[in-house]
Amino acid sequence: MAQGGFIISLDFELHWGVRDVVSIRDKKDYFLRARAAIPEILRAFEEHGVHATWATVGFLFAKDKRHLSAHLPGVRPLYARSEFDPYPFLNEIGDGERSDPFHYAPSLLRAIAETAGQEIASHTFSHYYCLEDGQTGHAFEADLQAAASIGEPFGSVVENLVFPRGQHNPAYDSVLKRCGVRSYRVPPEFQPYQPRRVGEETLTRRGLRLLDSYVPLGGSYAAERSVDEHGAVPLRAGLFFRPYSSSRRRLEPLRMRRLFAAMRDAAERQRDFHLWWHPHNFGTHTDENLAMLRKVLGEYRTLRERYAWPSWSMGEAARSMGEAA
């Protein structure tokens, strides 16, 4: 069995991840604060010797609109719900990062790439929804090819993949193999985390996921790694690093105890614990979120010293499977 480790993945998407539900006009300050938090997150990772995977929406790699246009896929999803289609929205974005920091991020990607232990991966090219009606495996494959093309200056970004909104579609696993995906994040086994179409989400499922952040409804999330039938490594997600909430501030100690207990259980059993979140979650209560992150990283450092529990990016975790064979 491969040695377990502390895995962190971040879904780096800026406005592209919520474009269908939130207008940028209402969130400009939020995303600017989120951008400002990223160098602080990187600094905290570096100070604590923590590796992480930044799964990035392909649009963010573009230097300008011309560069973006040159990498658009020839086959695109024909979603039954038109609001999921980001391509008409390209007419509304600016020409580059300076004029539109909400939809371009090459400077932040360079900062990530220059920080020790950080890995740039894929969150698909267009924030692609693999379970929604109207899209196909053919369109998904074209999307991943576009992600690989625009991300090429940063390496083989599609080797490690995070599905937008957790929509892993097992019917597309053969597409992952053809596109060279070596690891991908899958949701916890606890039922409220299982992938659904956007329209199938319920308040009950959301409520159970929220409660699971404070009490262990879904268990510890210590996970063992395996290899799928196509040779890729599905990496089981653990807890979502839920952002600080002023309305639930009295419950914050409970949330941190829940998280620390899950990390400690995984370290003691030499299994994986996979923490994940979006950088833009730090766009509100930025200082509080950064302070909580430093507490988590400090706890990890204690566990590393006590149990020789390594910190891994998704790619490193996948490669360790070959070393253990």
The reported pLDDT for the residue numbered 1 is 65
What is the distance between the alpha carbons of residues 23 and 12, in angstroms, rounded to a whole number? 18
The reported pLDDT for the residue numbered 325 is 40
Buried b (16+ CB within 10 A) or exposed e, 91-116: eebeebbeebbbbbbbebbeebeebe
Model pTM? Answer: 0.96
- Cα-to-chain-centroid distance, residue 25: 24
Task: Please give the biggest Cα pair distance in the chain.
Answer: 53
The reported pLDDT for the residue numbered 3 is 87
Measure Cα distances from 51 to 6, 212, 252, 314 in Å: 9, 25, 25, 9
Per-residue pLDDT of 298-307, as tens digits, reads 999 999 999 9
Task: Show the domains of the chain with their CATH numbers.
Answer: 6-324 (3.20.20.370)
Pairing of strands 6-12, 52-56: parallel
* Helices 252-268, 286-307: crossing angle, 10 deg rounding: 30
> Is 170 exposed, middle or buried (CB count within 10 Å of its CB: 0-12, 13-18, 19+)?
exposed
Residue 161: in which H helix or E strand, if any?
strand 160-161
Q: Which residues on adjacent β-strands are paired with residue 8? A: 275
Q: Which tokens in the block code for residue 323?
A: 């070393």
Per-residue pLDDT of 240-290, as tens digits, reads 999 998 998 899 999 999 999 999 999 999 999 999 999 999 999 999 999
DSSP SS3 for 140:
helix
Measure Cα distances from 281 to 38, 81, 170, 228 in Å: 11, 26, 28, 31
Q: What are the φ and ψ backbone dihedral angles of 56, each rounded to 5 degrees?
A: -115, 135
Q: Which residues of the chain register pLDDT less than 50? A: 324-325
DSSP SS3 for 6:
strand
